[in-house]
Structure 1
Amino acid sequence: MEKRSSIIDRLRTKDCVVALADGCMDSPGYCALYCTYTTLENDSRDDIISVVNIDKRAQRNSVIMEKEVFIRTID
């Protein structure tokens, strides 16, 4: 949490921040059960801004998982 806070504080000083994000679905069978959404800063590509995990059981279906995890990341 300390490292993440220092990265975010440094990014707040920039005029423009480009964030790269990707969702990875983990599935034990044919439908995804978990989604891990990782966001990092484009210039360094080493600074991880956020990692959010979501469980399909918390949502109604796996189709809306990536949209929901994106919203949680941006919030």
Structure 2
Amino acid sequence: AQPLAYCLPGLRQRVVVSEGVVHRLTRDELIAVIAHERAHLRARHDLVLEAFIALHEAFPRFVRSRSALGAAELLVEA
């Protein structure tokens, strides 16, 4: 029932939408959500985020900042 939509990158890329999304959105809205998730897959946003996560994890806690990783997550979703 929870409205969720996300993509799964990899060899068998998938766009996942929950029943909550299907039941709450109009056909055009659903098409837009699926197009949005497919755009994430085409642009390989998973690799962008993975690079920022790796950099974040590479630095000790007292040195690293969450702001760069947070900004990348925000920009990828925009």
TM-score normalised by L of structure 2: 0.28
Larger Rg: 2
Looking at secondary structure, tell me which structure has more helix per residue: 2
User: Which structure has the highest strand share of the two?
Assistant: 1
